[in-house]
Amino acid sequence: MKVPRSRLFLAFLQVGLVAFGGGGQAQIYQSIVLKHRWMEEREFLETTALCRVLPGPVFANTAAHIGARLGGVLGGVLALLGVLAPGATLMLLLSFAYFRFGAVPGSLAESALNGVAAAAIGLILATMLHQAPIALDSLKAVGLALVVFVTYGLLHWPLLLVLLLTVPVGMGLYWQEAAENSAHPRASQGMEADERG
């Protein structure tokens, strides 16, 4: 299906304006699948699962992917700009204000930001708790996660080194399972409202 690029851009711009609090993925779903009917449900879930594997936020990746699918490379670029522009503009304004007026330690702004940071860390923890039963479903999965945490989180090895060591080992561990024909990506992982980052 092909969609005019201007309509594509506007749809994603609207999503970018309201994607507060990590609801971005759900907003794309609402707009593209339910409202505009540019994609089918199953296609969307598979897209999300694939975009999760890529580096970068799933939200931005999904926008770029759907944009490119519906409007070519230019469509992908426009969709990405659309979802990022509102947040980026606001972020720049906030940053200018921060560096202009400063947030002195002990000031009100600093205190409020401490509270926001605590809540945001709680959000990451809660997301991990939700995912843990599925993500850490076997001994090898727990082991792999632990090795990453110890080398990267505790010992501060460079991320590139950690990934170069653990990704091939991990692929080796899952090589057997990957042979079984599971052609359908896990749809259940596709749509979590707490998608963040």
Residue 173, amino acid: L
Pair 157, 151: CB distance under 8 Å = yes
Interface with other proteins includes 39 (CB under 8 A)? no
d(CA 154, CA 152): 6
Kindly give, in sequence order, each residue whose CB lies less than 8 Å from that of residue 187, ignoring residues fewer than 6 positions away.
Answer: 42, 45, 46, 49
Name the minimum Å distance from CB 197 to other proteins: 4
**Which of the stretches 3-11, 30-38, 103-111 binds other proteins when contact is defined by CB under 8 A?**
103-111
Q: b/e map of 125-152 (b: 16 or more CB within 10 Å)?
A: eebeeeeeeeebeeeebeebeeebeebb
| Binding to other proteins, residues 41-60 (CB under 8 A) | 49-60
Burial of 43 (0-12, 13-18, 19+ CB in 10 A): middle
Q: Out of 31, 36, 87, 187, point to the residue binding other proteins (CB under 8 A).
A: 87
- Residues in contact with other proteins, counted by CB under 8 A, come to a total of 110
| Binding to other proteins, residues 128-157 (CB under 8 A) | 128-132, 134-136, 140-142, 144-149, 152-154, 156
Kindly give, in sequence order, each residue whose CB lies less than 8 Å from that of residue 43, ignoring residues fewer than 6 positions away.
Answer: none
Residue 155, both tokens: 């010992």
Interface with other proteins includes 10 (CB under 8 A)? no
Name the minimum Å distance from CB 125 to other proteins: 4
Name the minimum Å distance from CB 34 to other proteins: 19
Name the minimum Å distance from CB 187 to other proteins: 14
Can you list the positions of beta strands (E) in 51-139? Answer: none
Interface with other proteins includes 8 (CB under 8 A)? no
| Binding to other proteins, residues 153-192 (CB under 8 A) | 153-154, 156, 158-160, 163, 166-167, 170-175, 177-179, 182-183, 185
